[in-house]
Amino acid sequence: MSTRVLEIRKGVLNKNDELARALRERLHAAGLLTLNLVSSPGAGKTRFLELTLRTMRERGLRPVALVGDLATDNDATRLAQSGAPVRQITTHSRCHLEAEMVAGHLDGWNLSEYEYLFIENVGNLVCPASYDLGEDVRVALLSVTEGEDKPLKYPTLFNSADIAVITKIDLAEACEFDRAAAHRNLQSIRPGIRIFETSAKTGAGLAEWIDFLIRERAARRGAASRVEA
């Protein structure tokens, strides 16, 4: 790649970082915990998010979601069935979301009415790693059908994640999924990463995941209050 292209890319990234920082402050001021969900296509992000939104609402929580897609609005339609407010970001063949796209799709929402903002990124294990969306927590999803070696093969993305969610755990046996190897590979790329094992089909792991989100939001708001006090 020419130096010129690299410099311009770096410029794009720095502009994104600045926008992401401002966005993060805006979201914190509204009391939101923001999550950026990244994974390969077909890892089950949408189905996992749909169940997360529905279960949260049943528990009286107030989530909202943005979903990035290259072309269709299938995902937004599916997510909206949860009853949570959902908006689609169509990237028109761009391979990742950027902070500007997120900020531009929040207009008209009274953010302080909500508690959790989920951003479903474009399915891609490479490019989204480089773009901060103003999130508090980056969640990398990995399905048992993809193979245990994905963290080693896509280290940049898994290294940038705060949480790993293993999906489709109901298929573990049929896929001869090696759980120990998957955990070992995740820990080698991102030491100390917290791992949830889930199934959107059986609901396994969902309660634990949502309990974690509640605690995480409370802890961050507590920390913010203490800083202000």
Name the site residues for a copy of itself (rule: CB under 8 A). 1-2, 4-5, 8-9, 12, 40-43, 69-72, 74-75, 93-95, 122-127, 143, 145-147, 149-150, 152-156, 168, 171, 174-175
Query: For a copy of itself, which is the closer residue by CB, 182 or 213?
Result: 182
Query: For a copy of itself, which is the closer residue by CB, 93 or 225?
Result: 93
Q: Are 23 and 97 in contact (CB under 8 A)?
A: no
Q: Which residues of 104-120 are buried (b: 16+ CB within 10 A; e: fewer)?
A: ebbeeeeeeebbbbbbb
* 81, burial (CB in 10 Å: exposed 0-12, middle 13-18, buried 19+): exposed
Structure tokens at 207: 């309660």
| Least distance (Å) between residue 170 CB and a copy of itself | 8
Query: For a copy of itself, which is the closer residue by CB, 115 or 146?
Result: 146
Where are any strands of DSSP class E within 159-208? 163-167, 194-197
| Least distance (Å) between residue 109 CB and a copy of itself | 25
Q: How far apart are CA 69 and CA 108, in angstroms?
A: 21
* SS3 label, residue 7: helix
| Least distance (Å) between residue 69 CB and a copy of itself | 6
| Least distance (Å) between residue 181 CB and a copy of itself | 12
Query: For a copy of itself, which is the closer residue by CB, 9 or 215?
Result: 9
| Least distance (Å) between residue 178 CB and a copy of itself | 14
